[in-house]
């Protein structure tokens, strides 16, 4: 797509006009509440007015009466007008009440806006402590022989079995891969300093 095509979409596409609208947060949040959230289509005018009145009441409680001052029916008429085309207004044979449905352009905007809520990004620096803590937790401590014997004597029977050997009465062997390099505290501090 070139500049002219994109500019034409900006000027004429219903979805783009929804994103640029002054009341876009109201419209999109209402469309989510009434249509895409409960996965409903073909809603009667009075039911939509009731939904929108609830939304407007909550917003006016927080932001004051001047925020979205018009009645709910006027917003629905504006959103269903041909120049907006966010809602499709139609009549079912044998019924006097108009029905509403979300247009494809408005639904695409709603889904796109909902997709903007993604997981929080964690920078590499914030993951470094975890990166260094995992290998450190798996590396056996090298204590002097007296301290190691005291720690082993105080440990319960199942903890006295060395990795890679069979425990008494056990039919399985724990696989133990030796660590080729031991990460020490000074090594961790040096690595953290390099990444700051």
The pLDDT of residue 117 is 83
Length of the chain in residues, anyone?
A: 196
pLDDT the model gives residue 90: 95
One digit per residue, the tens of pLDDT, for the chain of length 196 reads 899 999 999 999 999 999 999 999 999 999 999 999 999 999 999 999 999 999 999 999 999 989 899 999 999 999 999 999 999 999 999 999 999 999 999 999 999 999 998 655 555 556 666 666 666 555 555 656 666 666 666 655 554 455 555 545 544 444 444 444 444 555 555 555 555 5
89: Cβ contacts below 8 Å, ≥ 6 apart? 76, 80, 98, 99, 100
In the 8-state DSSP scheme, what is residue 36?
I
Q: 167: which 2 tokens?
A: 């425990």
Question: Can you give the pLDDT at residue 38?
Answer: 93
Q: Which residues pair with 99 in a beta bridge?
A: 44, 90
Q: What is the value of pTM for the model shown?
A: 0.58
Q: How far apart are CA 30 and CA 24, in angstroms?
A: 10
Q: What is the pLDDT of residue 180?
A: 42
Cα 96 from chain centre:
41
Quote the CA–CA distance of 11 and 66 in Å, as a whole number. Answer: 29
Grouping H, G, I as helix, E, B as strand and the rest as coil, residue 52 is helix
Q: Please answer whether residues 14 and 85 qualify as being in contact, where contact means their C-beta atoms are separated by less than 8 angstroms.
A: yes
Kindly compute the dihedral angle of the four CA atoms of residues 72, 73, 76, 80, in this order, to the nearest 10 degrees.
Answer: -170
pLDDT of 136 reads 58
Looking at residue 152, its pLDDT comes to: 60
Check: CB of residue 68 under 8 Å from CB of residue 27.
no
CA distance 95 to 47: 15
Residue 41 tokens, joined:
């289509």
- Please tell me the distance from the alpha carbon of residue 152 to that of residue 162, in angstroms, as a whole number: 10
């Amino acid at each position: 797509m070139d500049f002219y095509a994109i500019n034409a979409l900006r000027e004429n596409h219903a979805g783009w006009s929804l994103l640029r609208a002054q009341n876009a947060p109201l419209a999109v949040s209402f469309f989510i509440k009434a249509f895409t959230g409960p996965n409903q289509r073909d809603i009667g005018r009075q039911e939509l007015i009731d939904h929108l009145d609830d939304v407007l009441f909550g917003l006016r409680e927080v932001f004051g009466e001047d925020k979205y001052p018009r009645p709910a029916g006027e917003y629905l008429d504006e959103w269903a007008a041909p120049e907006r085309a966010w809602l499709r207004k139609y009549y079912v044979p044998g019924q006097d009440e108009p029905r509403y449905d979300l247009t494809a352009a408005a639904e695409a905007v709603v889904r796109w806006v909902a997709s903007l809520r993604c997981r929080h990004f964690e920078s590499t620096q914030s993951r470094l402590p975890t990166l260094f803590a995992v290998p450190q937790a798996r590396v056996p401590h090298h204590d002097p022989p007296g301290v190691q014997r005291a720690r082993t004597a105080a440990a319960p029977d199942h903890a006295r079995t060395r990795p890679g050997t069979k425990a008494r009465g056990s039919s399985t062997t724990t696989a133990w891969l030796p660590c080729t390099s031991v990460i020490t505290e000074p090594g961790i501090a040096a690595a953290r300093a390099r990444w700051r």
